[in-house]
Each structure stands twice: as structure tokens, then as C-alpha cells.
Structure 1
Amino acid sequence: MPITFRRSFRVLPGIRVTLNKGSWSITVGPQHGPKRTWNSRGRVTTSCDLPGPFGYRSTRSRRR
């Protein structure tokens, strides 16, 4: 079983920074509802929790 590293902490209300072995990311938005995430590899994710077991997620990558 591989060992992984992930550390997430809140900077301000509604802003979270996540660190892991290969990259970091910043998430802006409430705990439940619409949010946007940017990571150090150029990926931008927009997500939203919908009522019940439903949700929406869209991911874009920076082209190199």
C-alpha cells in the first residue's frame, strides 16, 4: 500500500489551501454550494453541490 501525503487548511472563511506530494491548490467557495479550484499544474475546476445525491463538476486544463 503506497503512502500518500495531503494537508488541507482554511486560510480565511471560504478559502482553503491543499498541499500534497506533487502539487498545491486553492479553493474559493462555501463548504456546500458553488466553488472554484485552481491548482499548481494549471487545472481549474468549477463544482457545485446540488440537492440530494446530485452534483456538477467541470474541469479545464491549461494547454502547454
Structure 2
Amino acid sequence: MPLTFRKTFRIFPGVRLNINKRSWSITTGGGRGPRHTTSSTGRRTTSMDLPGPFGWRSTRSTRRGR
């Protein structure tokens, strides 16, 4: 079982800074609305919890440096 590193800091209410071994990301929103995550690698994710055992996620990756 590999070891992983991940740390989450709450900056403001509804804003979190996530740090792992390779990158960092900012997550905004949550609660009853959608969450938007933007990563330092150019990945953008929007997700939302739906009632019951359902969830929704849309991920878009963009190239950095262009």
C-alpha cells in the first residue's frame, strides 16, 4: 500500500487550499451548491452532491503555458 500526502487548509468559509505531493488546488463552494476546483496543473473540476447516493462531476483539463 503506497503512502500518500495530502493536506487541506481552510482559508475562508467556503474556500479551501489543497496540497499534495505533485500540485496544489483551490476549492470554492460546497454546502448545498456546486464545488469548483482549480488545480495548478490546469485541471478544472465542478462537482455537486445530489440527493441519495448520487453525485455529479464534470472535469476539464487544459494545457498550461499556452
Q: Same fold (TM over 0.5)?
A: yes
CA distance in 1, matches of 2:32, 2:53: 13
Please give the secondary structure, in 1, of the residue aligned with 2:47: strand
Listed as ranges, the gaps of 5+ residues in structure 1 are none
Could you say which residue in structure 2 is the equivalent of 1:27? 27
Q: Number of paired residues? A: 64
Q: TM-score scaled to structure 1, two decimals?
A: 0.90
Q: CA RMSD in A?
A: 1.3
TM-score (norm 2): 0.87
> 2:8 & 2:32 partners in 1: Cα distance?
17
Shift of 1:32: 4.5
What is the percentage of aligned positions where both structures have the same residue? 64
Displacement after TM superposition at 1:31 (Å): 3.7
Segments of 4+ moved more than 6 angstroms: none
